[in-house]
Amino acid sequence: MNRIKNTLRILPLLLLLTPAVFPGNAWAVQSHGAPEGLYVHQLAHVFYTAAMCYLFWGIRKSGFRPRGWRYLQAFCVFMVLWNVVAFTGHSLAAIVDSAHFTGGETGYLSSRLLGPLSSVKFLYYFTKLDHLFSVPALFFLYLGMKNIYRSSCEEEEE
């Protein structure tokens, strides 16, 4: 009887994890209609960059010195870098044609850049590695929020 209760408790979790174990198409990349969708998306990158710069400036000006606030500043720097790389990649996507790549039918990791190599193709390929900036940014956000939370809990105990 106890096993049945435990199984019934775990069943909702298993149902939620099923899509993670047996994924279909994620459709994570959304293409925008040309040209208005691209303009709006690019403006969103500009505004997000401005917001991250303003947050960085606000933290620096406020004089917060604990470690969590420095992590939050590192998050802002990495997000600004990510926005610059993403903005550049979206701009170059209009120049670089999909015919310059091969093997993308089986997935992004199997695609290869065809020669002759040019600086535009190489820069476009680099901008597709934008996760090298976004993942550390989110890690610094996590560290910053965790440290700020812990320091606020320590202040409440005193």
3-state secondary structure 34-51: CCHHHHHHHHHHHHHHHH
Rg value, the chain, Cα: 22
Sequence-distant (6+) residues with CB within 8 A of 102 are 111, 112, 114
Three-state DSSP state, 22 = coil
Contact 60, 73 (CB under 8 A): yes
- Tens digit of each residue's pLDDT (9 = 90 or more) over 32-78: 667 777 888 899 999 999 999 999 999 999 877 789 999 999 999 99
- Tens digit of each residue's pLDDT (9 = 90 or more) over 79-132: 999 999 999 998 888 888 777 777 766 666 677 777 788 888 888 888 888 899
pTM above 0.75, yes or no: no
